[in-house]
A = this chain, B = another copy of it.
């Protein structure tokens, strides 16, 4: 049976309390470069070679000895012969990226030259190393290139590949067990409209897909009825996961057993949060496994997921904080909020105008389908007026 929520924890405090008990995963695995984007490096990457590993022409043109070009200009060009190795008084044709002959120390751009017979006219004076990519200019052997904890991007794969690296050691993706609960919840496989009083399972699917998007591996579990012993069994059989997210059964009703069961197996850190929607969210830990108890109301669940499960999952996964995409917009209507609650108001953002959605019920999932952003209203602010400029966080 549910406990009565006596006092609400502020959303920011709840997040801190929860984040503080979470330990990042230490298990690692090797992966090929082609799979690296979005993964987090678990080992330092030090260059084992110089890049470039030879003196490389940075331009198309002629490799020369810079001293042979002293005084050269458009009105007073220098004439050089052509050779393979650019010995004194001659130049060697090079292309961008070519190896520069040992005896040359500069490259004159093709635009500043004209071949005349078997000579080349040079119309500019060069200093040594002009248009020369020196050995190790990009990366030097022994240089630290990436630190542990770096979130890999496609451009980093190119950097790693240029060092001759074919695979990297990254942190394993955390396995997140997603457990939908509720006597009223039936599997999505039902092709018929379920009987009155029954609803299709949708929260688990949503949570699992966000888990995958945020860098975890979702383990989709069966629906658990509102029976404490069955909830306990479901949790126990997923304590090998790196995180558990339960959907539903977090409120104060007779059928809301989830926080109590989590508390009996471990510790409930927070139950009842100044978050709207999302007040019945509970956060706990069992052994080393963080547990998020999401309200069953889909919009409340979604807000709880964004506010708590996402940062928690990132911490478990060693993923550094990723800023939200925020668009500055003007409200074209009023949005209300309850004092004392961090309020996620759904808006439709179009051409930098934020249109508030009228249906604000926590159960109205379609409001999320229609919305593309949240305006997050602090606890001490009572909504925003029409015409006010606000930050809209895009719903990813």
Contact = CB atoms under 8 A, between A and B. Distances in A.
A384 interface: no
Nearest to A196: B54
A133 interface: yes
Contact of A164 (B145, B166, B193): B193
A153 interface: yes
Contacts of A297: 96
Interface string A159-197: 101101010000000000000001110001111011011
Nearest to A59: B253
A323 interface: yes
Given A157-B209, A202-B162, A253-B96, A53 B361 contact: no
A110 interface: yes
A366 to B, nearest CB: 5
A382 to B, nearest CB: 24
A145 B368 CA distance: 11
A154 interface: yes
Contact of A162 (B34, B184, B199): B199
Contacts of A17: none
A155 B395 contact: yes
Interface residues of A, number: 83
A260 to B, nearest CB: 15
A95 B254 contact: yes
B205 A191 contact: no
A206 B189 CA distance: 40
User: Which of A60, A133, A213 is packed against the most chain B CB atoms within 10 Å?
Assistant: A60
B197 A97 contact: yes
Given A155-B395, A193-B164, A323-B394, A52 B133 contact: no
Give how many copies assemble into the complex: 2
A55 to B, nearest CB: 8
A51 to B, nearest CB: 7
Contacts of A253: 60, 95-96, 110
Contacts of A146: 369
Interface in A43-69: 49, 51-54, 56, 58, 60
A161 B191 contact: no
Interface string A373-395: 00000000000000000000011
Interface of A: 33-34, 36-37, 49, 51-54, 56, 58, 60, 95-99, 110-111, 133, 137-139, 145-146, 153-159, 161-162, 164, 166, 182-184, 188-191, 193-194, 196-197, 199-203, 205-206, 208-210, 212-213, 251-256, 296-298, 302, 323-325, 327, 361, 363-366, 368-369, 394-396
Closest 10 A-B residue pairs measured CB to CB?
A60-B253, A154-B209, A54-B196, A99-B197, A158-B206, A158-B202, A99-B196, A159-B369, A161-B202, A97-B184
